[in-house]
Structure 1
Amino acid sequence: MVNSVDERVPPRKVLGLAVPALGVLAAEPLYVLVDTAVVGHLGALPLAGLALGGVLLSQISSQLTFLSYGTTSRTARLHGAGRRAEAVSEGVQATWLAMAVGLILLVAGQLLAGPLARMLSGDDEITGAAVSWLRIALFGAPLILITMAGNGWMRGVQDASRPLRYVLAGNGISAVLCPVLVYAAGWGLEGSAVANVVAQVISAALFVRALVRERVPLRPRPAVMRAQLGLGRDLVLRSLAFQACFVSAAAVAARTSTEAVGAHQIVLQLWTLLALVLDSVAIAAQSLVGAALGAGSARRALGVAGQITRYGLVFGCVLCALFAAVSQVLPHAFTSDPGVLGEIPHAWWFFVALQPIAGVVFALDGVLLGAGDAAFLRTATLASAAIGFLPLIWASLGFGWGLAGIWTGLSLFMVLRLAAVLVRWRSGKWAVVGAVRA
C-alpha cells in the first residue's frame, strides 16, 4: 500500500467541514423536539398523530439520502479537478431530480396516507390525526429533497457554512411560528404541519437561489440524472437494509415486554444521536476524498482516508469513555420507571462498547462514499444484515434472549461491516482517480 504519511490535510480543514455538517444533521432532530413539545401540550391524541405522521414523512429523507451523499461524491470529484461549473451543474441536476421524485411522492402520499397510517396504528382516532397532519406536511416533500440536493453539491465544493445557515434559517423561523399557529391561531395539530412546510419552503428557496447565483445552465440533463439514479439505487438498497434491521429490532423488543421496548427506545435514540456526531466526520471524508481523487491524487485520498479513520477511532473511544462514566446517571434523565431502568443495562454496555467500532465504520463509510464506491457499501451492508443482525434479532424472539440478544445482533452487524470496510480500505481498490468514477 502507498505510504500516505505526508498526505494528510490540516485538522482545521476537517473540522471546518465536520462541525457545520453536524449542525445541519442536528437541526432537524432539534426542530422535531420543539415540534413535539408544542403539540404534546394539546394532548395524547395529537401527539400520537404527530408521532405516526412524522415516522411516515421521515421515510422520505431516510430512503433518499443519495440526493445528498451521492451528489457530494460526484460534485467533489469535479471540484477537485478544478471544474467548479460542472460540479455545480451536478447540483442543478440533483435539484431537478429532487423536484421530480418529490412531486411523485407528494401525489402518492396523498393517496396512500390513510391506508398506511391505518396499517401502522390500528386505531381510527390516531389514524385520523396522523392523516390530517401528514397530508399537509407532504407538500414539503419536494422541498425536503431540494434541500438534500443543495446540501450535497455544497459539501462537494467544500462550502459547509451556507448549508448550515440555510437549514437553521428555515427551522428557526418555523420553530417560532409553530406555537403561534398551533395555539394563537387555533390551528392545533394542522398548525404544526403548516409550520413544517414553511421551514422547508425557506430552506429550499435559499438553496435554489444559491444555484441561480452560480450562473450555470439550469436546463435538465437526463443523462446526468440517470447516472445519479444509478448511484442512488445502491444507496437506497443500503438504506432499506438499515430500515429492515431497526424495524425488526423494535418489533422484537415490543414483543419482549413493555419495559424492554422502553429501554430499547432510550438506548437506540442515544445511539442515533451519537451516530450524527460520528457521521459529521464521514461527511468531511466524502468531500475531501472525492476532491483528492478528482484532482488525480490517489496518494492524497489514501492519506486522508487514514487520517479520517484515526479521527473516527479517537472520537469513538472518547464517546465510549464518556457514556461508560454516566451509565448510572443518564438513564434516569429519560425515565423513572424501575422496570425500564432495570432493562437498560442489557443494551447499554453493548451501546457503549460499540462506539469505537462505529467511529471507524462511519469514517470509512464516508471515505468509500466520497470515492463513489456505493456498490461495495450496498453489498457489504446487505450481507452484514442478512448474516448478522436479522438472524440474531429473530432468534432473540424465539429463544427469549431479550435486549441482550437484540444488541448482540447489532454488535455482530457492526463487526461484520467493520471487517468489510477495513479490507476494502486496505486494498486501495476504491481509490479510482478522475473527475468521474467509471
Structure 2
Amino acid sequence: MGVSHASTMHNPAKLFLSLRALGAPAVVVSLAIQGIFRGLKDTKTPLLYSGLGNISAVALLPFFVYSLNLGLNGAALATIASQYLGMFLLLWSLSKRAVLLPPRIEELDFVGYIKSGGMLLGRTLSVLITMTLATAMAARQGTVAMAAHQICLQVWLAVSLLSDALAVSAQALIASSFAKLDYEKVKEVTYYVLKTGVFVGAVLALLLFASFSRLAELFSKDPAVLQIVGSGVLFVSASQPINALAFIFDGLHFGVSDFSYSASSMITVGAISSLFLLYAPKVFGLAGVWAGLALFMGLRMTAGFWRLSSSAGPWWFLHQKEPTYKLHSSTC
C-alpha cells in the first residue's frame, strides 16, 4: 500500500486489515443473497436486513471503540459483528422462500455460473486494484493527506451509491422485460432511468457542494485535515452525475446479461486509470489521486454510453426505427 514500516499508520493499519478480513465471508454471502432478492424483484428485504446490520454497526462502533477502549481494533470488530448479523438475517429470510441446499450435493450445478462468474470476478478485481492503488498513492502523501483522502473517499462513495439504487431497479425491470422479448419496455425503462440518473446526480452534486465543508467536520476537527478536504470539494461533488450514470450503465449491462462487455470494458478502464494513478500523484499530489478516480468513473460512463450507442451489441433494438421486433400475444 506504500506505507513504510516506520510510519505511524503501518502497524494499526496492518492489524485493522487483518481483523477486517475475517468479515469477508459474510460480505460475499450477503452480496450473493442480495443478488438473489434482486432477481426476485424484491429490494425491500435486502434493504431491511442490510439496514439492520448497518444500524447495529452504528450502535456497536462507539461501544467497542470508546466503552471497551479498543480503539481502531474495536472499530474493526464492531464492523465484523454487524456484517455477520446482516448475513444471518438475510440467510434466515431467504430460507423461508427457497431451499438453500438441494437434497443431494451432486445436484448443485455450478457450470452455468462459471463463465459469467469468472468474467465478473475479473471485473471486480479490476475495480479493487484501481481503488487499492488510489489508496496506496494517497498514503504516500502523508498522514494528514491520507486522513483527508479517506474523508473525501467515504463521502464520495456513500453518496455515489445512492444512485446505485436506480441501477438495481433498472437491472431487475430490464432483465424481466428482456427475457420476454419486450424490447419496447426495455427501451422505455432505459431512457427513463438514464434521465433520472442525470437529475439525481446533479441534485447530489449541488447538495454536496453546498454542505461538504460542514459535513467534513463530522469526521475531523483537525484544521490541517479540513483544509485539504476543502480542496477536494470539486472532486466529491462535480463527479456525482458521472458516478450516477456509471452505476446505471452497469445495471443496464447486467439487465441484458451483457457480462462479457461489462467485464472486458471494466478491465480496460481499470488498466488505463491505474496507469494514470501510478504517475499523476507524483506530480500533482493528492489532486492526482482524485483526478485518477474521476477518470476511472468517467471512463466507465463513457464505456457504457458507447455500448448503448452500438447497434452490434445486445442494445441493437434501440436503433430500430420500427418496433417490429416485439412479440405480441396475437401472433404467438
Superposition TM-score tier, normalisation by shorter sequence: 0.7 to 0.9
Q: 2:241 maps to what in 1?
A: 356
Q: Distance in 1 between matches of 2:29 and 2:166?
A: 23
Given candidates 90, 106, 113, the residue that maps to 1:228 is 113
Q: Distance in 1 between matches of 2:144 and 2:58?
A: 33
Q: 2:35 maps to what in 1?
A: 152
1:181, 1:195 within 8 Å by CA — same for their partners in 2? no
SS of residue in 1 equivalent to 2:216 = helix
Q: Distance in 2 between matches of 1:326 and 1:178?
A: 25
Map Cα deviations across residues 20-73 of structure 1 (whole Å, 9 max, x no partner).
xxxxxxxxxxxxxxxxxxxxxxxxxxxxxxxxxxxxxxxxxxxxxxxxxxxxxx
Specify which structure has the bigger relative contact order, considering alpha-carbon pairs within 8 angstroms and separated by 6 or more residues: 1
Map Cα deviations across residues 385-422 of structure 1 (whole Å, 9 max, x no partner).
222x2222221243x31122112222222222222110
Q: Which runs of 5+ in 2 are unaligned?
A: 1-8, 318-332
Following superposition, the deviation at residue 257 of structure 1 comes to 2.8
Q: 1:162 maps to what in 2?
A: 45
Given candidates 284, 289, 296, the residue that maps to 2:169 is 284
The percentage of aligned residue pairs carrying the same residue is: 28
Q: Distance in 2 between matches of 1:178 and 1:156?
A: 33
Following superposition, the deviation at residue 360 of structure 1 comes to 1.2
Given candidates 381, 390, 406, the residue that maps to 2:274 is 390
Q: 2:314 maps to what in 1?
A: 430
Map Cα deviations across residues 330-368 of structure 1 (whole Å, 9 max, x no partner).
333322222222222432212211111111111111111
1:393, 1:409 within 8 Å by CA — same for their partners in 2? yes
Q: 1:417 maps to what in 2?
A: 300
Judged with a 3 Å threshold, the aligned counterparts in structure 2 of structure 1 residues 202 and 172 are, in CA distance, closer, same or farther, namely farther
Does 332-341 or 262-271 show the bigger shift?
A: 332-341
Q: Distance in 2 between matches of 1:215 and 1:381?
A: 32
Q: Distance in 2 between matches of 1:219 and 1:194?
A: 32
1:234, 1:374 within 8 Å by CA — same for their partners in 2? yes
1:407 lines up with 2:293 in the alignment: no
Does 272-281 or 223-232 show the bigger shift?
A: 223-232
Judged with a 3 Å threshold, the aligned counterparts in structure 2 of structure 1 residues 210 and 174 are, in CA distance, closer, same or farther, namely farther
Judged with a 3 Å threshold, the aligned counterparts in structure 2 of structure 1 residues 211 and 368 are, in CA distance, closer, same or farther, namely same
Given candidates 195, 203, 207, the residue that maps to 1:310 is 195
Judged with a 3 Å threshold, the aligned counterparts in structure 2 of structure 1 residues 272 and 299 are, in CA distance, closer, same or farther, namely same
Q: 1:33 maps to what in 2?
A: none
Given candidates 182, 199, 203, the residue that maps to 2:89 is 203
Q: 1:254 maps to what in 2?
A: 139
The letter for the 1-side match of 2:261 is F
Does 151-160 or 262-271 show the bigger shift?
A: 151-160
Q: 1:272 maps to what in 2?
A: 157
The letter for the 2-side match of 1:391 is L
SS of residue in 1 equivalent to 2:42 = coil
Following superposition, the deviation at residue 149 of structure 1 comes to 2.8
Following superposition, the deviation at residue 193 of structure 1 comes to 8.0
Q: Distance in 2 between matches of 1:194 and 1:249?
A: 24
Given candidates 209, 213, 220, the residue that maps to 1:335 is 220
Q: Distance in 1 between matches of 2:85 and 2:63?
A: 14
Q: 1:110 maps to what in 2?
A: none
Judged with a 3 Å threshold, the aligned counterparts in structure 2 of structure 1 residues 216 and 199 are, in CA distance, closer, same or farther, namely closer
1:255, 1:397 within 8 Å by CA — same for their partners in 2? no
Does 313-322 or 199-208 show the bigger shift?
A: 199-208
Q: Distance in 2 between matches of 1:328 and 1:175?
A: 23
Does 260-269 or 221-230 show the bigger shift?
A: 221-230
Q: Distance in 2 between matches of 1:422 and 1:161?
A: 29
Judged with a 3 Å threshold, the aligned counterparts in structure 2 of structure 1 residues 266 and 420 are, in CA distance, closer, same or farther, namely same
The letter for the 1-side match of 2:284 is W
- What TM-score, normalized to structure 1? 0.60
Q: Distance in 1 between matches of 2:202 and 2:225?
A: 27
Following superposition, the deviation at residue 281 of structure 1 comes to 0.9
Q: Distance in 2 between matches of 1:184 and 1:403?
A: 35
Q: Distance in 2 between matches of 1:128 and 1:322?
A: 36
Q: Distance in 2 between matches of 1:393 and 1:417?
A: 16
Q: Distance in 2 between matches of 1:258 and 1:183?
A: 22
Structure in which a larger fraction of residues adopt helix: 1
SS of residue in 2 equivalent to 1:367 = helix
2:208, 2:237 within 8 Å by CA — same for their partners in 1? yes
What number of residue pairs does the alignment pair up? 305
Judged with a 3 Å threshold, the aligned counterparts in structure 2 of structure 1 residues 344 and 178 are, in CA distance, closer, same or farther, namely closer
